[in-house]
Each structure stands twice: as C-alpha cells, then as structure tokens.
Structure 1
C-alpha cells in the first residue's frame, strides 16, 4: 500500500503590492490605459508577483534554492498597487504549491522544488544575438517562430539591488547577509527579450517556468538569449512563448526559462 503523503501548510507571506512599472513603456501598468482593457487600474508586473512568490521557497530552502531551485508561476487575475497580498500554500513530498490571494481572489498559482540533480545547458545551444538595432511596432512579422532574440546587458549592483528588494517588499535577510542578488531580476531580464526587440502596445505577462542554474551575484551583468517557440492566437489574444537562457557576464548560465506573454491583447489585435 502506498504511503499517504503528509502536507504541511506554509506560513503566509503578507505584503502591500507596489506597481514598479507605472512609468514603463508597457501602458498596461498605467491606470488610465489598463481601465480601457477592463481592469480596475494598472497591473503590478507579473515578474514582481513571481518575485513575491519566491519568498516561500527561499524561506524553505535558503541558499540552495537560489543555486538550483525550480519554480513556475501562472498569473490568473491582476494584482493592483497598494493592495494587501497574501502568498501562501503547502508543502508535500518536497514540492511547494503556492497561491497568491488579493481582494479575496486567487490571482496567481505556482509551484517550487529543489531538484537533486542540476541540469546543464551549453551556451552554444542558445544563439548569441544582440537586440535588434531598430525596433519596429508590433505586427504580423514580430516574434517569428524559430527566430532568436537577445537583450542589452543590465545590472543591479549596490543600492539598485537594495532598492529592487524594497520595491518587491522582500524582507528575507539572506540577500544582504550573503551578498546575493534576488532571482526576480532574472525574470525582469526575460521581459526585456520582448521590449528590447519590438515596440509593443499594452501587453501582459501570463506565466513563466524558471530553473535556476547558479546563484546571482549583485554585480553580475545579465543578458538573455531566447528562441521563439510559439506565436499563436487564443481567444483573440496573440501569444508568444520563449525558451531562454539567462547569463551572467557573458559566460555563466544563471537560469533556463520558459516565458509566455500576450503581446497583443484582443482589443488591440482587433484595432
């Protein structure tokens, strides 16, 4: 007879959401524009909601998760600036099931685990390309399946890394104590694969899967290389899917990521 798996409820991580992207090029984070698409206000970026979720596995496994953790997240409903957010869930057989609740609604779901064996990815398997020299407005030729995308290098050293952790309301002392970067920054670079290469209208990050391959150092210069593996219509929206490697200083793989976004919401695609 198979043994029954024990489930342990996780301590809830509570915070006040903050919209870090009010001034960004993506006007889905702007109150006025977001309301035109049926939202109550500007959306807190999905990458920041995923960063909220990362608090639980880091609390569970500490530095080990920052070195080799696996996490996925799916964003179901918006999180808005100033709202109380509760990140909770449970642990069973080494897997965390995570939920994000705001306004009494389920806004995001995900899971996290700590693989016993760390997969390896060769830099040569991900084509090293620079971001496009001249971005063009989003259209039918954007994000062709099989094409490759790159990003401009970015870094969050010193005070900028501290400010980022404050923005995502991260209270775990491990980052300051051990001198480490927060893995949410890897997801911010994933978003740059889109905006460094195409002039987008309002768009929405809907989900990600990330296998961390190495701990992020605060002074690392981060880039990403991605192959477009999906470009399709669903319920009137245009979606793009990316298979990417995030890299430190041009040589060290930091994370393997699968990134999904609506790059043309149906209201915009029909315009």
Structure 2
C-alpha cells in the first residue's frame, strides 16, 4: 500500500523571462498555443526534488535517482502542488496546477551511487561560434560540451529564492541544489546552437555526489537521439555533469524539443 507524502505547495516563478529561449516569453509562447510564458522544466523538476530531499536528506543529494516528464506547462504566478506517494522505496511525484497534471516522475534512493567513470565521457568545449539551429545541429553520436558555470555566493542564494526552496540543508551544509545540474544540461543545447523557442520534455538524473555550493560545473554530453515526431524535432542527450573538472556529480539523460511545430499562426 502506498504511503502519502505531505503536499509541497509552490508559487511558481518564471525565472527565464529574459532568456534567449522565447518559449518563456508570454507573446511568443501564445503563438505556440500556450497561455503565457512557460516556467522552465528544469525549475519544475527542482520543485519536484523537494520531496525526496525532505524524505532522505543529504543521502538523496549524494546518490538519489530522479526522473521527470513534463506534460503541461506551469505558468508564472500560478500555484503548483507537488504531491507524492511512496511504495516499495519508490516515491511517485506529480505536479498539478490549475487543476491539471503538469509533470510526473519518480524518485528513489539506491543503496549506493553507481560507479561511473569520467574517462567514458569525452571532454570537449562548447563551439566557439554558434550557428542557427537546424536538424544537423546535434548529430547522432556527437560529443558536446558547455561553458563552465558556478552558482556561488549571491548567485546561489538567488537560485534558491527563484525556485522557492526553503529547505535549510543547502545553506547549513554548503551544498548546491541538484536543480542547477539540470540547468547545466540545458546549457549543453544553448551553448552549441542558436535556438529558437524550444521545450525541455523530460530528464532522468542519477546523482553521484553531493554538489558543493560554488563549484564550477560543466557537462560532457553525447547525442543519443535526433528525430522528428509529430512535426517536432527532438534531441536526446546522455551526459556526465562534472564539478571543478574532476568530480562526477550526476549521470543524466535529457530530452528536449529543439524545433517545435508551430501550433498557431504568428
């Protein structure tokens, strides 16, 4: 029998209103049939991770496994309810907003973090000159890198405020929120092509080590899928997120629509 977990309620916030991805802009998003700019999927996933961190604490940050799939948008200023139920060591998580299911996923705590070798993931740098996105931007089997990024000091505090995270573990223990690792996965796409409006569809993340606040983070990613489905062009990535150039932080699979089918006239 499943055991219910206390609901976590968030006043959703669109952190990407000024970003290059105009799917977070109200006007552009409406052209694609949405009610307004989308709250980034990586931030919705950050909301979801509150439940397993509350349940397992630092152990989850060190070796937790989380998967998320985004099915409907969460909008700026709307209330998002994150609910969970545990059965046989697996927490099923759902995000509801406006009475609709917006995201679903699972979280669990393996007995130990799986062994992942950094040498199996090729280190490359992001392209020096990005080109407009096309179906050839992410070639199957291609290795992609990111520009280094750190969330330190005021940036780390601002990030926790942006995702409405009040769990004291990050500040008290000097830890980085795993949501920043998902932001780095988005950076893989952005740092290697000039994208139009695009949509993060889903992710699977096996945490390997608790990130420290202020670490410089990069990703080493390989393109494992590039295909068309229902008029959209999808890309799939398999990546190792690395801290300070040496420490594997998470093994991630990331799926995005990098060229969406336009659903409404401009």
The partner residue of 2:135 within 140, 162, 171 is: 140
Deviations 1:59-112 (A, max 9, x none): 000000000000000000000000000000200111000000000000000000
Separation in structure 2 between the aligned mates of residue 181 and residue 264 of structure 1, nearest angstrom: 31
Separation in structure 1 between the aligned mates of residue 77 and residue 192 of structure 2, nearest angstrom: 31
1:40 CA displacement: 0.2
1:37 CA displacement: 0.3
The partner residue of 1:232 within 227, 231, 234 is: 227
Over the aligned positions, Cα root-mean-square deviation in angstroms equals 1.2
Separation in structure 2 between the aligned mates of residue 140 and residue 205 of structure 1, nearest angstrom: 17
Please give the residue correspondences for 1:181-260 in structure 2 after superposition, counting only pairs within 5 Å: 181-260=176-255
TM-score with structure 2 length normalisation?
0.98
The partner residue of 2:97 within 89, 93, 102 is: 102
Separation in structure 1 between the aligned mates of residue 211 and residue 113 of structure 2, nearest angstrom: 16
Q: What residue is the counterpart of 1:165 in the other structure?
A: 160
Deviations 1:137-185 (A, max 9, x none): 0113110000010001000011111110000000111111111110000
Q: What residue is the counterpart of 1:10 in the other structure?
A: 5
SS in 2 for 1:202: coil
SS in 2 for 1:127: coil
Preserved CA contact (<8 Å) 2:24 2:40: yes
Q: What residue is the counterpart of 2:64 in the other structure?
A: 69
Deviations 1:11-59 (A, max 9, x none): 0000100000000000000000000000000000000000000000000
SS in 1 for 2:262: helix
Separation in structure 1 between the aligned mates of residue 33 and residue 42 of structure 2, nearest angstrom: 21
Separation in structure 2 between the aligned mates of residue 181 and residue 128 of structure 1, nearest angstrom: 22
Preserved CA contact (<8 Å) 2:62 2:113: no
SS in 1 for 2:6: coil
Does structure 1 residue 20 correspond to structure 2 residue 6? no
Preserved CA contact (<8 Å) 2:23 2:197: yes
Separation in structure 2 between the aligned mates of residue 258 and residue 141 of structure 1, nearest angstrom: 20
Does structure 1 residue 51 correspond to structure 2 residue 46? yes
Query: Unaligned 5+ residue runs, structure 1?
Result: 1-5
Please give the residue correspondences for 1:29-40 in structure 2 after superposition, counting only pairs within 5 Å: 29-40=24-35
Higher mean displacement: 133-142 or 254-263 = 133-142
